[in-house]
Every structure is written in C-alpha cells, then in structure tokens.
C-alpha cells in the first residue's frame, strides 16, 4: 500500500492552454462610452470607436432597439472575438476592424 496521498487534478488544464484568438480583426477589448459609443481594441493593436446612436434610435433598428436602454447597452462584452450583448446581439468584427483601421471610427446607421 502506498503511503503517499493521491490528489485528483485535471491535468488537461495544465497541459492544454486555453484557446486564444489570433486573428488580427478579432476584438480583444470593449468598453461602453456615453452616447451609444464603444471603445474597441483588436488583436493587432488597432483601436477605435464604434458610433451606434443613429442605428439604435432608428425605426429600423431591429434587434439593436434593445440597446436603447443604457443599462443594456452597458452590458457589452467580448465573446469569440466579437462585440456582444445579452440576447445574442453582436457586431461583425471584420467589418468593424476594416472601418476603424481606415478611419478610426465605425459609424453604424
């Protein structure tokens, strides 16, 4: 009989690092700003602002109408490299990256 205590450990978490996105256009950071704007940062270091006030207020806002509530808008987060809100609302990171890389701002209307 072995006198040493055996402890259970999930060795997979030690051996396999978590999956990290390396696509340059994947969003790395996001923060809600006043006026229905977002500050975003991408994997390649590109940073800029997404202006959403016009889209959110428009009659054709569709699913984005839920973001009119500032509390809901402020619950933004990054999931799988995309800007996301509860309720499966998200923005296309590749289009966002292209616009911000060109102009520093992506204005959604």
Task: Name the residue ranges covered by the structural domains of the chain.
Answer: 21-107
Give 53-97 pLDDT, tens digit per residue. 999 999 999 999 999 999 999 999 999 999 999 999 999 999 999
Strands 47-51, 105-107: parallel, antiparallel or unpaired by DSSP? parallel
pTM for this entry:
0.80
Give 22-51 pLDDT, tens digit per residue. 788 899 999 999 999 999 999 999 999 999
What the block records as the tokens of 82 is 């995309």
What the block records as the tokens of 93 is 């990171």
- Greater model confidence, 35 or 11: 35
Per-residue three-class SS string for 42-89? ECCCCEEEEECHHHHHCCCCHHHHHHHCHHHHCCCEEECCEEEECCCE
Question: Does the structural domain 21-107 have CATH classification 3.30.2020.10?
Answer: yes
- Sheet of 37-42, strands arranged across: 27-33, 37-42, 47-51, 105-107
Q: How confident is the model at residue 11 (pLDDT cuts 50, 70, 90)?
A: low
Residue 28's pLDDT is 95
What lies within 8 Å, CB to CB, of 20 at 6+ separation is none
Which residue is it, tokens 């030690």? 14
């Amino acid at each position: 009989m072995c006198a040493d205590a055996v402890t259970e450990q999930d060795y997979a978490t030690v051996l396999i690092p978590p999956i990290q996105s390396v696509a340059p256009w994947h969003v790395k950071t996001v923060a809600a700003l006043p006026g229905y704007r977002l500050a975003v940062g991408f994997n390649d270091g590109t940073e800029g602002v997404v202006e959403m006030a016009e889209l959110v207020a428009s009659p054709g806002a569709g699913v984005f109408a839920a973001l009119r509530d500032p509390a809901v808008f402020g619950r933004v987060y990054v999931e799988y490299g995309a800007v996301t809100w509860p309720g499966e609302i998200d923005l296309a990171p590749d289009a966002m990256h292209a616009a911000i890389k060109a102009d520093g701002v992506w204005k959604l209307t």
